[in-house]
């Protein structure tokens, strides 16, 4: 029974955090993106950076929790804008991998440089005694969230 209580408390906390997260962090973040880069495209660039190597379309779709067909459309847009390129796998020319371009790396760095101030102003308003808790909470979320299964793998992140 204790485990069920823990799950119920986790549900309550999660559902309590989501609106605050959306209005205080997600919406302001989305507003900072350039018009030609959707939130999902930005996430895709970040996933490719975290991966650190070229990946197949299937691997990328799985990482993004998106159907391969939808992922292909997004990659096509990223290719058109010069953020990613398709390259043949040197060990098997039938396999095509997706890799970031220098333009994507520069875009990510510029985005951080130009927009970090927006979040810095927000984060500076966190009371000094709460900052340590906030940092620990973010570190735990960054460790735990990537390991959660996607509840609806047939849907994309932005749907």
Q: For residue range 87-115, list pLDDT tens digits in order.
A: 998 899 899 999 999 999 999 999 888 88
For range 80-87, the mean pLDDT: 96
Q: Which residues contact 19 (CB under 8 A, 6 or more apart)?
A: none
Which residue's structure tokens are 């390129």? 85
Q: Locate the domains of the chain by residue range.
A: 1-32, 33-146
User: pTM for the full model?
Assistant: 0.73
pLDDT at 2: 58
For range 17-42, the mean pLDDT: 87
Determine how many CB atoms are found less than 10 A away from the CB of residue 64: 20
Helix (H, G, I), strand (E, B) or coil at 130: helix
CA distance 36 to 56: 24
Output 70 or 142, whichever has higher pLDDT.
Answer: 70
pLDDT at 152: 55
Q: Is 108 left (phi over 0), alpha (psi -120 to 50) or beta?
A: alpha
Mean pLDDT for the chain overall: 87
CA distance 78 to 48: 12
Kindly state the percentage of the chain with pLDDT values over 90: 54
What CATH class does 33-146 carry? Answer: mainly alpha
Is it the case that residue 1 has pLDDT exceeding 80?
A: no
Angle between helices 102-124 and 39-51 (to 10 degrees): 110
158 confidence band (pLDDT: 50, 70, 90): very low
CA distance 72 to 113: 29
Q: Which residues contact 153 (CB under 8 A, 6 or more apart)?
A: 65
């Amino acid at each position: 029974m204790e485990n069920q209580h823990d799950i119920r408390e986790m549900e309550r906390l999660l559902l309590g955090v989501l609106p605050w997260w959306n209005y205080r962090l997600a919406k302001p973040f989305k507003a900072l993106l350039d018009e030609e880069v959707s939130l999902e495209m930005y996430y895709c660039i970040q996933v490719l950076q975290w991966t650190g190597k070229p990946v197949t379309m299937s691997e990328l779709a799985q990482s993004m929790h998106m159907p391969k067909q939808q992922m292909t459309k997004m990659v096509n847009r990223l290719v058109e804008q010069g953020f990613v390129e398709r390259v043949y796998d040197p060990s098997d020319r039938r396999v095509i991998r997706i890799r970031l371009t220098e333009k994507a790396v520069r875009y990510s760095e510029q985005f951080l440089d130009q927009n970090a101030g927006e979040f810095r102003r927000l984060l500076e308003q966190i009371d000094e005694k709460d900052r340590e808790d906030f940092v620990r909470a973010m570190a735990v979320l960054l460790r735990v969230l990537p390991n959660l299964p996607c509840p609806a793998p047939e849907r994309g992140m932005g749907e």
